[in-house]
Amino acid sequence: MTRTRIFIIHENQALANQAIATLTKGAEVRVMDALTTAGEALAFIGENNCDAVLVSSTLPQDGAIKVIKTLRRRGVKAKVIVTGLEHETNMIVRYIASGAAGYALREEGVNGWLRQIQALQEGRALLSKSVVAALMSHLSTLSRLTTRFEPKAARYGELTEREIEVFRLLAAGESNQSIADTLIIGVGTVKNHVHNILKKLNLRNRKEAATYLSFMENKAPVAARYM
């Protein structure tokens, strides 16, 4: 079997080096490099120099999403696997909707990375039943939204900078209290922002809000390969 060429992107260089030792025990994986920032990685990863990219979900400033979207925009065919995720279905769906081909939970460690690589080699996608159900729900909601109205960039553009911050956290499944703690504002203020966001975008609830944001960020539903 041809060895799968991978890049690792992880903010902890020591952990990345440990991962390399585990992944390269088999002859089927070749680690091209281990990089610590999204910017550094995007400067190295090209259209034909790797088959898969393993990117940490804990990169600063939503670095994993940046990597996924930038590689997709450039037409890079390498599959992206997001590592270090918690059991948060909404967050997992967000990465997959953005273009990730797979994910590994934090508790799985490097063995989870290896299983995802093996799945890619075999043309499979490893998704839990709960994630599959969430993806189906995501697509169903998206279908209803696009039937009711065509999401317009102009509507999204009406949101204030603060509303967009709240919107992103809301779409990631954060509670009002969590959003308030993150942005250092009152819970009442968060509730007002959520109300205004839903009203401006003609959305009924948080679930529709999450689907709408995914649509606006990606301009496409989740890939059919996950169905």
Please give the model's pTM, rounded to 2 decimal places. Answer: 0.62
pLDDT along the chain (227 residues), means of 10: 86 89 79 91 84 92 90 88 84 81 86 85 71 62 59 72 90 88 93 91 83 68 38
3-state SS assignment for residue 117: helix
CATH class of 132-218: alpha beta
Residues 36/54, Cβ–Cβ less than 8 Å: no
- Dihedral sign computed on CA atoms, order 184, 189, 193, 195: positive
Tokens 């991962």 found at? 19
3-state SS assignment for residue 122: coil
Residue 225 has a pLDDT of 35
Measured between alpha carbons, how far apart are the two ends of the chain, in Å? 28
Fold match, 4-126 / 132-218: yes
Domain boundaries, the chain: 4-126, 132-218
Whether CATH 3.40.50.2300 fits 4-126 = yes
